[in-house]
Amino acid sequence: MKNFSLDIVIVVFLSFLFSVESFAQKENIFKNVFLDSLDNSIDISEFLRTRYGFAFVPALITEPAIGYGGGGALLFIHRNPKEIIEGTKGFPSISVLGGFYTQSNSWAVGGGHLGVWKNGNIRYRGGVGIISANLTYYRTPLLPNGVKHLDFNIAAYGLLQEITFRLWNSAFFAGINYSFGHTEVKFKSAINLPEILNDELNLNIGGFGASLYYDSRNNMFTPNTGIYAGIKYIHYDKYFGSDKKFGRFFSHILGYIKLTNKIFGALRLDYKNSFDNTPFFMRPFIDLRGVPAMRYQGETTYLAETEIRWDFTNRWSLIGFTGYGEALPVNKSLFNRYTAYNYGAGFRYLLARLYGIRMGIDIAKGPKDCAFYIQFGSSWFRY
């Protein structure tokens, strides 16, 4: 999990777009709030600096693993009177209630809060939710009857709490987190899978974790320069409410560099590991655009992805990217190593100049699938 919730932030900014017409009609403030005085282009910087209250917005789901779908969210943007008068540039705290439904009959409902305090030096996120997801478990080598993948449903409810603090006015952040959930897994076909134990099908899962991050990016939304790196370990044990004892390790390095006045490069390195009896649905998978979630799983995964952005105007940009990843098997005598790649292109629009926020769409090709993604800020903002 990451310092900020990507899903919450995406729907926030979509809400600003859907709110433009109503604000223009009711308050006649379109020109002052939604147009940038520098170039007369659509820009929501002033909206972010001065607005608060409730907003409702539809959300679009584009994850290939669960199919296309949609949903909605009711948001409350928190600001105190001083912030409203001064028009602060600080990102507001946000509370949200919402849900979604997709073409695979997957659905979820939940609520959460994203808290940002002390000019971003303290960051909190927490939430509760219920989900029912219809997914696919891929199998290589094939089972004796030739089956190479199995459909299953995972139903779960749970909560997450996480807080991070800046250390001594440095670029380092440290944090702790706790999560708990109850999961029930049902395969649609009764086939024996030796790598999946019966005690993984109905579980309480509770884990406590610690994390350390380094963040020297010039902008948290769409960086041009800097490094964002982090490590996190989560331990699951009966002391935290878990039926199984296991561990999960996450690490990443994101680097951003200015190549010319108009061209910017970025590199992402990612390594994940799982320990002991990690349930199959919590094992790491190759996480690349164009590759469905959980398609290539293993005990360990590592990947590299690079991206180039060309700002061909002050507002519009083109994106190109490619990546490669590997998943090492849980049982080397039974499974082979998985590999996957991606490539693709997209565009961005500078939606909030004062915050350096760009939004757009990426189209990605993986080994077997094509997909498109709505992107907020950096393509790797979910970290």
CB 128 within 8 A of CB 108: no
Range with the lowest mean pLDDT among 32-46, 264-278, 308-322?
32-46
Residues 6 or more apart in contact with residue 39 via CB below 8 angstroms: 314, 315
pTM: 0.82
Whether 298 shows a pLDDT value over 80: the answer reads yes
**What's the mean pLDDT in 150-159?**
92
pLDDT digits 0-9 by tens, 90-132: 566 788 899 999 999 999 999 999 888 887 789 898 999 999 9
Residue 233's CB is within 10 A of a number of other CB atoms, namely: 17
Q: List residues bridging with 153 in a β-sheet.
A: 134, 186
State yes or no: pLDDT of 143 exceeds 80: no
Instruction: Report pLDDT digits (tens) over 349-382.
Output: 998 887 788 888 999 999 988 888 888 778 887 7
User: What CATH number does the domain located at 6-376 have?
Assistant: 2.40.160.50
How much of the chain exceeds pLDDT 70, in percent?
81
The pLDDT tens digits of the residues spanning 33-84 come to: 677 767 778 887 777 666 666 666 667 788 888 888 888 888 777 766 555 5
255 has pLDDT over 90:
yes
| Least confident piece of the model among 68-82, 283-297, 303-317 | 68-82
Domain ranges of the chain: 6-376
Hey, what amino acid is at 42?
I
Which pLDDT score is estimated for 289? Answer: 93
**Do the beta carbons of residue 129 and residue 110 sit within 8 Å?**
yes
Q: How far is residue 253 from each of residues 147, 178, 269, measured CA to CA in Å?
A: 37, 23, 5
Tell me which of 50-59, 92-101, 153-162, 178-187 is least confident. Answer: 50-59
pLDDT tier at 5 (50, 70, 90 boundaries)? Answer: very low
Name residue 268's beta-bridge partners: 254, 305
Asked if residue 24 has pLDDT above 90, the reply is no
Residues 226, 218: contact at Cβ < 8 Å? yes
Q: Is 287 exposed, middle or buried (0-12, 13-18, 19+ CB in 10 A)?
A: buried
Sort 128 into a burial class: Cβ within 10 Å, 0-12 / 13-18 / 19+: middle
